[in-house]
């Protein structure tokens, strides 16, 4: 994906994974490409990338919105009381479309979801919204 | 209503520790094993093993080389330590004959 960059890293516990958000100084000194090959990086880090709009299965042309962000905001429980200090919020489509509600749920979302993690996988599937 | 946790943040000072923890979690979550081709991730794990070894004690660089060959599953190799000028190379010579991706 174009312009993909990490903004957090896996944390929490194996049973309750949460994203720990990078502060600006950490990102300035961290060359993730040097430390990880891309497939492994997606298992360790949380990535943001430029929205591919119609080229992405989550994008709904009729509303010009991201259905994944909508599902995260409506189907997952909040896991924090305060907005995470997120480096991508100023340009985040999810936040722009769903508001702070999605930010309170975002720390439980991981870039790569292991097979068998039902609720997250169900939410990540584009068919969950389109009925396919 | 149950109290929810505040999110964690990662600063420059805690970056290395956070990455180590994340690599450990990814290993458990995704079943990443040392015999995959993800050598870069393997080296992260090996790096932790090597950091925990106290080279000022009984362990030698040859022990480090042996640790590498022992911990990279699927590697059949001879631990080696050699010196080129100021550089000390620690590693192994693969014996499998099969390609090994870097």
- The answer to whether B29 contacts A43, with C-beta atoms less than 8 Å apart, is yes
Indicate the domain borders of chain B.
33-94
Q: Which residue of B lies nearest to A78 if distances are taken between CA atoms?
A: B4
In the prediction, which pLDDT does B82 show? 74
- Do A85 and B9 form a contact (C-beta atoms < 8 A)? yes
pLDDT at B33: 47
**pLDDT in the model for residue A94:** 96
pLDDT at B37: 35
Nearest CA-CA partner of A67 in A51, A89, A83: A51
ipTM of the complex: 0.83
What are the start-end ranges of the H helices in A30-104?
Answer: 32-35, 38-44, 67-75, 93-98, 100-103
- Residue B59: its pLDDT value, please? 66
Query: Please, is A77 exposed, middle or buried when counting C-beta atoms within 10 Å of its C-beta (0-12, 13-18, 19+)?
Result: exposed
Tokens of B100: 């090994």
More confident residue, B59 or A26: A26
pLDDT at A77: 93
**Tokens linked to B54:** 């106290």
Q: Is the pLDDT of residue A118 over 50?
A: yes
Q: Is the pLDDT of residue A9 over 80?
A: yes
Per-residue pLDDT of chain B (102 residues; tens, 9 = 90+): 555 678 999 988 788 788 888 888 888 877 764 333 333 334 555 555 556 665 666 667 677 777 767 766 666 777 777 777 766 677 777 665 555 554
Q: Residues of A with CB below 8 A from B4's CB?
A: 78-81
Q: Is the model more confident about A62 or about A120?
A: A62
pLDDT reading at A43 higher than 90: no
* DSSP annotation of B45: H
Interface of chain A toward chain B, CB-CB under 8 angstroms:
8-14, 17-23, 25-26, 28-30, 35-37, 39-40, 43-45, 78-82, 84-85, 107, 112, 114
Share of chain A above pLDDT 90, in %: 55
């Amino acid at each position: 994906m174009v312009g993909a960059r990490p903004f957090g890293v896996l944390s929490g516990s194996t049973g309750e994974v949460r994203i720990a958000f990078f502060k600006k100084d950490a990102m300035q000194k961290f060359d993730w490409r040097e430390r990880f090959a891309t497939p492994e990086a997606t298992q360790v880090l949380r990535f943001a990338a430029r929205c591919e709009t119609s080229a992405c299965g989550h994008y709904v042309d009729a509303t010009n919105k991201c259905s994944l962000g909508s599902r995260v905001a409506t189907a997952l429980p909040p896991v924090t009381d305060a907005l995470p200090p997120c480096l991508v919020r100023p340009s985040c489509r999810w936040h722009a479309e769903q508001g702070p509600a999605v930010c309170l749920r975002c720390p439980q979302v991981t870039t790569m979801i292991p097979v068998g993690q039902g609720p997250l996988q169900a939410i990540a599937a584009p068919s969950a919204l389109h009925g396919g | 209503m149950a109290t929810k946790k505040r999110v964690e943040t990662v600063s420059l000072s805690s970056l290395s520790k956070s990455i180590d923890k994340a690599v450990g979690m990814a290993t458990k979550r995704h079943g990443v094993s040392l015999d995959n081709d993800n050598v870069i991730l393997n080296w992260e794990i090996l790096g932790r093993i090597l950091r925990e070894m106290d080279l000022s004690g009984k362990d030698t660089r040859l022990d480090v080389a042996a640790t590498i060959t022992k911990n990279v599953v699927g590697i059949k190799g001879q631990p080696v330590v050699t010196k080129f000028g100021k550089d000390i190379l620690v590693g192994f010579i693969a014996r499998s004959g099969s390609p090994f991706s870097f």
